[in-house]
Amino acid sequence: MRIAHIAHSTTDRAGFLVQLIALAKEKGFGGYPGDGANVWNAAHVRDVTSLFRLELEKGPAGRYWHAVGVGAVPLREMAEATGSRLGLPVVSVPADVLMVPEYFGSLANVVTQNYPAPLPRAESGAAEQSSPRLLGATGRIPILYWF
């Protein structure tokens, strides 16, 4: 099973979004590389665990599954939500070899990448019985609860 790049929950203490929030607090502004159009896929942890359980219990052997609830969240939207919640300005970090590492540090190589994922289609099998969030009905990641 492939898990979304951002598997989020209200109990997050580590992970990509937590690191972006910490960077904004440290630097005094929320940042995104370039135009912030690069996207990341996401899923709620409960949906991922539900899919694991359903597929172990009812899934046919030899199938591949992709646990994703939101197929493409622009990094700019993540930065804007973070800045809004923290009361910080949000700015574009020029996407060059000096500026991106200065702001993002060890995340510099990944924040400029695109990680879109197609949303799952309802098919016959256990995935049909999963929650609506798993099938892409959530819209955007509600990152406001990470503070």
| pLDDT one-digit tens code per residue, 88-133 | 999 999 988 778 899 999 888 888 998 888 765 544 444 444 343 3
* CA–CA separation, 82 and 31 (whole Å): 9
79, part of any domain: yes
Which residues span the domain enclosing 50?
A: 2-139
Give the strand pairing for 6-8 and 39-44.
parallel
* CA–CA separation, 74 and 44 (whole Å): 17
Q: Is the pLDDT of residue 134 over 60?
A: no
Residues in a beta bridge with 130:
none
110, part of any domain: yes
Backbone angles phi, psi at 103, to 5 degrees: -85, -50
Question: Per the structure, how many domains does the chain have?
Answer: 1
Whole-structure pTM over 0.85, yes or no? no
99, part of any domain: yes
47, part of any domain: yes
145, part of any domain: no
8, part of any domain: yes
144, part of any domain: no
Residues in a beta bridge with 30:
90
60, part of any domain: yes
